[in-house]
Structure formats: C-alpha cells, structure tokens
Amino acid sequence: MSSPETGEALEGAGDISLERLVASSRQRFRTVEDMVTSVIRNAIVSGIFKPGERLPQDRLAGLLEVSRMPIRAALRQLESEGLVELHPHRGATVRSLGSDEISDLYEMRILIETFALRKTASAATEEELGELKVLASDLEAARGADERLDRRHRFYRVLYSIGNTPRVVSTIMQFRAEVSAYTIDLQDNRSRTHRELLERISTRNPDLAAAWLETHLRSVAQGMRSRLSDPGPESVDE
C-alpha cells in the first residue's frame, strides 16, 4: 500500500481508492471525527481494507490531514459497530468473520429484515415506490465502486425507513455493513436483485415479499460459507 506522501492512490476493490473516498467525504460532514469514521468505514465495507488486515493509522492520519486522536475515536466507534478489532499494543485490524458468525449474522438479518420488509410492503405509498425505483435505477447507472457503495447504502436505508423506526433501520444497516467486506468482490447481478425485490413489494403482499427475501438471504449465506471454505466467484448480492 502506497504512502500518502508519494501522491500515489491507495487502491482497493475495483476502481475505488482511499483517496477518492477522502475527496468525496471532505464536504459532507460537520465534524472531523464524523468524516474520519465515514472514510474508514467505507474503506472497510468497499474492500479497500480486507478482513484481518491491519489498519495503517499513521497513513490514514496523513492522508486525512488529521491527528491520531480522531483516528482513534473513529476506530473505537467502528469497534462498537463490529467492523474493527482493537488489540493492545498491536493497533487495529478489520474484523474477520468465521463461518459460524456468518451463519448467525444471516439468521439475525433474516429475522429483522423480513420483519422490516413486511412493514415496508404494507406502508409504502405509490410515491415512495416511485422513489425506490429511481434509486434502483441510479444504482444500476453508478459508474464507480465508491458511487455504487453510496447509492446501494441509500437504497436500502430508504427502503427500510418506510414503515420502520430508526432503531430498526440502524440495526439492519449495521448487519449489512458487517458482511459487506465479504461480498464486495463477488460477481453479482445487483440490479436484477433490486428489481425483483421491488416487484414483490409492489404486490402489497407482505408475506410474499418476506418469503422472497428470506430465500434470497439464505442462498447468499450458503454461498458465503462455501466461499470461505473454497474461494471462488458467486453470483450473489449481500
């Protein structure tokens, strides 16, 4: 990984880089700590930093042009979100998930996301469905990995915000973030997944939408477990 002082991009998954995340985040946050936390979180979720990889705090501080204090505060926040592990005298690493943890996370996701999706399917207005279709189209049209990351995050946050409380939404988004590092480099067809999901919601049948989502998430979980034991391309969306 190149030092920020060289001016070379710190490249990650696909066409996304740490430098691009920094540049796109500088004007979006009210505090330095929020900006630093967002950049590191997105770098983990997008696969720039892989599970088990040590986070280069000095390089991050240099690239972000901040002291070590907001870096440490951001890492503590990300530890509480399940994305980072802090080790005394050894710094911080991206949290790694084993097969059993993947299974547990997806069982919890199935419980809370089917619960939330039933509410969304029951509560969504035509106007809200129209907004979701626009967001899905925007996601399909995204040109870079960082743009896809932002638009996918927005799609699901808006989706689950319909009919649900902020606590439910934040829990779902945290679970999604924890598995994203394991799905970012998979060969998938996210646009088809989003269209199929919206088709089920549009039927106004909560049970049909929830059943489709449960089947989908169980398939993804199985693919991830297989990939952990025998790495290879899968066609899944997280």
Q: What is the pLDDT of residues 105-129, one digit of tens each?
A: 999 999 999 999 999 999 999 999 9
- 110 and 200 assigned to the same domain: yes
pTM of the model: 0.74
- Mean pLDDT for the chain? 82
Residue 144 lies in a domain: yes
- 213 and 110 assigned to the same domain: yes
Q: Which of 94, 125, 150 is the last residue of a domain?
A: 94
The confidence score (pLDDT) of residue 23 equals 62
The confidence score (pLDDT) of residue 192 equals 74
- 14 and 59 assigned to the same domain: yes
- 222 and 107 assigned to the same domain: yes
Average pLDDT over residues 204-216: 95
Number of domains in the chain: 2
Tokens for 45, please give them: 């979720």
Stated as kind and residue range, the H or E segment containing 92 is strand 91-94
Residue 237 lies in a domain: no
Residue 76 lies in a domain: yes
- 173 and 63 assigned to the same domain: no
The confidence score (pLDDT) of residue 149 equals 77
Looking at the DSSP assignment, which residues form a beta bridge with residue 93? 54, 85
**How many C-beta atoms surround the C-beta of residue 78 within 10 A?**
22
- 211 and 103 assigned to the same domain: yes
Average pLDDT over residues 52-66: 92
The confidence score (pLDDT) of residue 66 equals 93
Q: Which of 76, 94, 112 is the last residue of a domain?
A: 94
- 109 and 83 assigned to the same domain: no
Chain position carrying tokens 């990351």: 149
Instruction: Write out the residue range of the structural domain in which residue 179 sits.
Output: 99-229
Q: Is the pLDDT of residue 185 over 80?
A: no
Residue 175 in 3-state DSSP?
helix
Give the residue with greater pLDDT, 9 vs 224.
224
CATH number, residue 130: 1.20.120.530
- 108 and 223 assigned to the same domain: yes
Q: Is the pLDDT of residue 161 over 50?
A: yes
- 104 and 192 assigned to the same domain: yes
Q: Is the pLDDT of residue 236 over 90?
A: no
Residue 223 in 3-state DSSP?
helix
- 117 and 214 assigned to the same domain: yes
The confidence score (pLDDT) of residue 232 equals 47
